[in-house]
């Protein structure tokens, strides 16, 4: 109990002092002194927020278990605060930092993540862990670099780029892996979404441009990026199959890089072929991110309620989970054989 109290106190000091300093600088901009010397104080406040306070934070956490990469979080907070509280005409240094320093930091973080991902993949291959793929490695690597919630967001964005641009090699299934995209409607649904978005882009861009050209281009960019996400997801379906992990006594369900459920064999109450409409039973959760739009042919029931990871780290709770597997009879037989041994 005392140890927990000490840890809470240490964390409060580590985070409290930087935020107290930031708050004091915000208050300074509201004083008459700031209005008398806006140029000089703006330079000082900018340097304090993006340089001095992150450095003070680093000194506070350097001997603690808090990830050092969180210094970047304080730096980003400093950028946001300084952009909000300083007059536009006094943001010269801030603009320079945004144009030069921020891209360099982003590049460094990306290089570190890729480097750590390669190390993780290499280590797992030495251990002959065949279930690890690029997306898994990126998630592991990012957890060592940034806080967990941020790592889930970044890993998804990196997955979009990787599967969209770089992952072209055909992946052969192992005996303990099962595809779910060849006989399902997932490919058709994704292609349909992509086509629908592309058709609407032209019309919406034209209509919005009559009101705001900036808004029209922002929406167009977001629509194009959504199409790219759908294409990356489509490619990832064949790269990330369902995996029966006998070594770790668990079933790993995947839907590209959108969803993943890890189910211990001991938690499986029943697994069966299921080809009904899941909308008829509210107690059943769809594993697919497209819900009832996509058909299912498998149902797995657990002893206890649990959750699986969905898009961008969102979690969904379930007791009964419906999903699709191409070779359903082989899949059920193998799972039942394994569970029966327990």
Q: What percent of the chain lies above the pLDDT cut of 90?
A: 18
Same-domain check for residues 213 and 286: no
Domain presence at residue 330: yes
Specify the pLDDT at position 4.
Answer: 43
Confidence at 327, pLDDT banded by 50, 70, 90: very high
Domain presence at residue 205: yes
Same-domain check for residues 228 and 246: no
Domain presence at residue 97: no
pLDDT above 70 for 45: yes
Q: Are strands 315-323 and 284-286 parallel, antiparallel or unpaired?
A: parallel
Same-domain check for residues 152 and 198: no
Same-domain check for residues 212 and 198: yes
Domain end (from 141, 166, 191):
166
Specify the pLDDT at position 145.
Answer: 64
Domain presence at residue 100: no
Residue of 231, 285, 225, 252 whose CA lies nearest to 136: 252
CATH classification of the domain holding 303: 2.30.29
Confidence at 141, pLDDT banded by 50, 70, 90: confident
Specify the pLDDT at position 179.
Answer: 93
**pLDDT digit string (tens) for 67-118?**
676 787 788 888 888 888 888 887 888 788 777 777 777 777 777 766 766 6
Measured distance CA(320)–CA(31) in Å, rounded: 60
* Long-range CB contacts (within 8 A, 24+) of 128-136: 130/174, 131/243, 131/245, 131/252, 133/239, 133/240, 134/159, 134/162, 134/167, 135/159, 135/162, 135/236, 135/240, 135/257
Domain presence at residue 6: yes
Same-domain check for residues 253 and 324: yes
Specify the pLDDT at position 279.
Answer: 66
Confidence at 6, pLDDT banded by 50, 70, 90: very low
Specify the pLDDT at position 124.
Answer: 59
Same-domain check for residues 84 and 6: yes
Domain presence at residue 101: no
**pLDDT digit string (tens) for 219-268?**
888 888 889 989 999 999 999 999 998 888 899 999 999 999 999 998 99
**pLDDT digit string (tens) for 201-224?**
888 877 877 887 787 788 888 888
What average pLDDT does the segment 321-338 reach? 89
Q: How many domains are there within the chain?
A: 4
- The residue segments making up the domain with residue 151 are 112-166
CB 179 within 8 A of CB 238: yes
Domain end (from 189, 206, 236):
236
Domain presence at residue 104: no
Same-domain check for residues 232 and 247: no
Same-domain check for residues 316 and 251: yes
What average pLDDT does the segment 37-55 reach? 85
When mean pLDDT is compared across 126-130, 169-173, 228-232, the lowest value belongs to: 126-130
Specify the pLDDT at position 324.
Answer: 93
* Long-range CB contacts (within 8 A, 24+) of 108-116: 109/69, 109/72, 109/145, 109/146, 112/145, 113/138, 113/141, 113/142, 113/145, 113/154, 113/158, 116/141, 116/142, 116/144, 116/145
Domain end (from 39, 58, 90):
90
CA–CA distance from 60 to each of 2, 10, 314 (Å)?
A: 21, 9, 32
Same-domain check for residues 228 and 252: no
Specify the pLDDT at position 205.
Answer: 75
Same-domain check for residues 203 and 225: yes
Same-domain check for residues 246 and 230: no
Same-domain check for residues 72 and 19: yes
| pLDDT mean across residues, the chain | 81
Domain presence at residue 14: yes
């Amino acid at each position: 109990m005392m140890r927990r109290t000490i840890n809470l106190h240490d964390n409060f000091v580590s985070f409290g002092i930087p935020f107290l300093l930031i708050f004091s600088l915000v208050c300074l901009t509201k004083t008459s002194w700031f209005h008398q010397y806006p140029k000089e104080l703006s330079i000082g406040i900018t340097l304090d927020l993006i340089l001095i306070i992150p450095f003070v934070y680093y000194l506070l956490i350097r001997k603690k278990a808090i990830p050092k990469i969180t210094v970047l979080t304080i730096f980003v907070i400093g950028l946001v605060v300084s952009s909000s509280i300083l007059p536009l005409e006094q943001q010269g240094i801030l603009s320079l930092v945004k144009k030069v320093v921020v891209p360099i930091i982003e590049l460094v973080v990306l290089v570190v993540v890729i480097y750590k991902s390669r190390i993780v993949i290499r280590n797992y291959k030495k251990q002959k862990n065949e279930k690890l793929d690029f997306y898994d490695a990126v998630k592991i690597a990012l957890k060592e670099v940034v806080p967990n919630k941020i790592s889930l967001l970044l890993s998804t964005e990196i997955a979009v780029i990787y599967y969209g641009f770089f992952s072209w090699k055909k992946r052969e299934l192992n005996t303990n892996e099962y595809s779910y995209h060849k006989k399902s409607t997932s490919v058709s649904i994704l292609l349909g979404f992509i086509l629908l978005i592309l058709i609407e882009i032209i019309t919406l861009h034209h209509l919005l441009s009559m009101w705001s050209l900036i808004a029209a281009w922002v929406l167009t960019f977001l629509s194009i990026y959504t199409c790219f996400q759908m294409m990356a997801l489509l490619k990832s379906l064949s790269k990330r199959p369902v995996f029966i992990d006998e070594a770790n006594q668990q079933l790993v369900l995947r839907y590209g890089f959108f969803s993943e459920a890890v189910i211990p064999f001991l938690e499986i109450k029943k697994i069966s072929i299921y080809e009904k409409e899941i909308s008829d039973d509210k107690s059943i959760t769809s594993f697919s991110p497209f819900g009832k739009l996509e058909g299912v042919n498998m149902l797995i029931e657990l002893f206890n309620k649990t959750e699986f990871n969905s898009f961008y780290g969102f979690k969904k709770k379930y007791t009964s989970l419906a999903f699709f597997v191409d070779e359903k009879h082989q899949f059920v037989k193998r799972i039942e054989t394994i569970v029966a041994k327990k």
